[in-house]
A = this chain, B = another copy of it.
């Protein structure tokens, strides 16, 4: 059974995630979140000892959710091209999640922490590395089942899939470019075509 304290903590984190999506993890504060969820500041401190702890838990929640919504469902698809396509589709859907109204928290956090060593940076770097590994692994399985060519550079394919998602986020959110979905689909099809035997 989930305790009342655990439920409250989770509700605060959900609300903090949505807020961080708009103002960045740096823009979060214990005082601001207390106001947002209608609690006292000391009530919030009972759940998060510091701003850094709040930021870390928000980032960890987002990482767990990315695994649940993007990685895990794709790895339940058949190996090879279907799984690789599912990773792409799930990821594009992720970028438009309505519980991240200000866009992908990983991309905004990357901009915030790339010059700031510390636990937030470490957590983000570790997650990004493990997804690149997961993408490369999915590509490698595609080679093993014969959907992709045997001389495919799987890490390069992982890097390029990541590239087109980053560009989708950039153009879709900044330029509000109505063609951005078509562009990313075309780029993805070119990647798949080049990967085939």
Chain A contact residues, CB within 8 Å of chain B = 22, 24, 101-103, 107-108, 110-111, 113-115, 121, 124-125, 128-129, 153, 155-156, 159-160, 162-164, 166-167, 170-171, 173-175, 179, 183, 186-187, 190, 194
Tell me the minimal C-beta distance from A175 to chain B in angstroms: 6
Partner of A164, one of B115, B125, B163: B163
**Do B125 and A174 touch (CB < 8 A)?**
yes
Partner of A114, one of B103, B187, B190: B103
Which residues from B are CB-within-8-Å of A167?
A: 159-160, 162-163, 166-167
Tell me the minimal C-beta distance from A170 to chain B in angstroms: 6
Interface of A is mostly: helix
**Do B115 and A187 touch (CB < 8 A)?**
no
A86 to B24, CA, bound (A): 35
A159 to B180, CA, bound (A): 9
A194 to B194, CA, bound (A): 9
With contacts A102-B115, A163-B187, A175-B129 taken as known, whether A110 is within 8 angstroms of B170 at the C-beta atoms is yes
Which residues from B are CB-within-8-Å of A125?
A: 174-175
Which residues from B are CB-within-8-Å of A186?
A: 153, 156
Tell me the minimal C-beta distance from A186 to chain B in angstroms: 6
Which residues from B are CB-within-8-Å of A101?
A: 115
Can you report 21 A-B residue pairs in the complex whose CB atoms are below 8 A from each other? Answer: A101-B115, A102-B114, A107-B170, A108-B111, A110-B170, A110-B173, A114-B174, A115-B173, A124-B174, A129-B175, A153-B186, A155-B183, A156-B187, A160-B167, A160-B187, A160-B190, A162-B167, A163-B187, A166-B166, A166-B167, A166-B170
